[in-house]
């Protein structure tokens, strides 16, 4: 219960606070439910995407290991000494249910060089091209995973606010309203009794 004076003005203020608190609780609960819905949808989609990425990376690694088996160490070192393709990731933010989430964009410079069959296996070119195609999914996966983390954090913060309103603030206001109402009723009865006694005294004289 809140510490307040038991007056009609205070009772009116408490009733207004209760209305605002209940509206705030509903808005936050609706927000929490919508955030949870979007989070579950994203978790479902990311589960499928992660499986695709893991399978494709596993395939690429297998092909690269096969290609590597036919190369000597000097050839392998020479191939990767000077990169021919550069990938930059730019990050912007977008608003999702009042949550600032990232939007990753892949920017590519150069291209993968074909090494041919003179000193390397054709599997090397195939594995590098396959890895290049996977990058789009890897970037998307990273974006979604970060978004999931931010949504989960926001859900937790929103839930704490919902619980504070539902289990602390609203019950306190309701208890305060009940207390003020009872005190006012007691004062009203006391005043009525006093007036009746005064009338009895006046009549007696």
Confirm whether 202 is domain-assigned.
no
Whole-angstrom CA distances from 86 to 74, 77, 82, 173 are 23, 18, 11, 61
Residue 73 token pair: 């160490």
Residue 124 confidence (pLDDT) above 80: no
How confident is the model over 67-83, as pLDDT tens digits?
Answer: 777 777 776 666 666 66
Confirm whether 23 is domain-assigned.
yes
- Calpha distance 162→157 (Å, rounded): 9
Confirm whether 46 is domain-assigned.
yes
Residues spanned by the domain of 107: 8-193
Residue 78 token pair: 């020479």
- Calpha distance 101→93 (Å, rounded): 5
Place of tokens 């395939």: 59
Q: What is the pTM of this model?
A: 0.74
* Residue 17 CB neighbour total at 10 angstroms: 17
Q: What percent of the chain has pLDDT over 90?
A: 51
Confirm whether 19 is domain-assigned.
yes
> Which of 11, 25, 7, 18 is closest to 172 using CA atoms?
18
How confident is the model over 75-116, as pLDDT tens digits?
Answer: 666 666 666 677 888 899 999 888 999 999 888 777 766 555
Confirm whether 205 is domain-assigned.
no
Confirm whether 98 is domain-assigned.
yes
CATH number, position 91: 1.10.287.3240
Average model confidence (pLDDT) for the chain?
85
Confirm whether 101 is domain-assigned.
yes
Question: pLDDT at position 121, please?
Answer: 63
How confident is the model over 30-52, as pLDDT tens digits?
Answer: 999 999 999 999 999 899 899 99
Please tell me the total count of domains within the chain. 1
Confirm whether 201 is domain-assigned.
no
CA 136 from centroid of its chain's CA atoms: 24
Of the two residues 84 and 181, the one the predictor is more confident about is: 181
Question: pLDDT at position 120, please?
Answer: 59
């Amino acid at each position: 219960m809140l510490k307040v004076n038991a007056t009609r003005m205070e009772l009116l203020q408490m009733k207004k606070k209760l209305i605002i608190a209940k509206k705030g609780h509903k808005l936050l609960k609706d927000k929490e439910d919508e955030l949870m819905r979007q989070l579950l949808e994203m978790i479902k989609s990311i589960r499928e995407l992660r499986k695709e990425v893991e399978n494709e990376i596993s395939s690429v690694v297998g092909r690269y290991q096969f290609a590597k088996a036919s190369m000597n160490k000097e050839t392998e070192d020479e191939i990767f000494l000077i990169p021919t393709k550069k990938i930059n990731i730019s990050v912007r933010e977008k608003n999702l249910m009042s949550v600032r989430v990232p939007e990753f964009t892949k920017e590519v410079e150069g291209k993968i060089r074909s090494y041919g069959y003179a000193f390397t296996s054709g599997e090397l070119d195939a594995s590098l091209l396959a890895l290049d195609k996977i990058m789009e999914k890897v970037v998307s996966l990273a974006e979604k995973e970060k978004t999931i983390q931010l949504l989960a954090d926001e859900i937790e913060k929103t839930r704490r606010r919902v619980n504070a309103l539902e289990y602390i603030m609203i019950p306190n206001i309701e208890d305060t309203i009940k207390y003020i109402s009872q005190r006012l009723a007691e004062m009203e009865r006391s005043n009525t009794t006093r007036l009746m006694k005064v009338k009895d005294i006046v009549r007696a004289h």
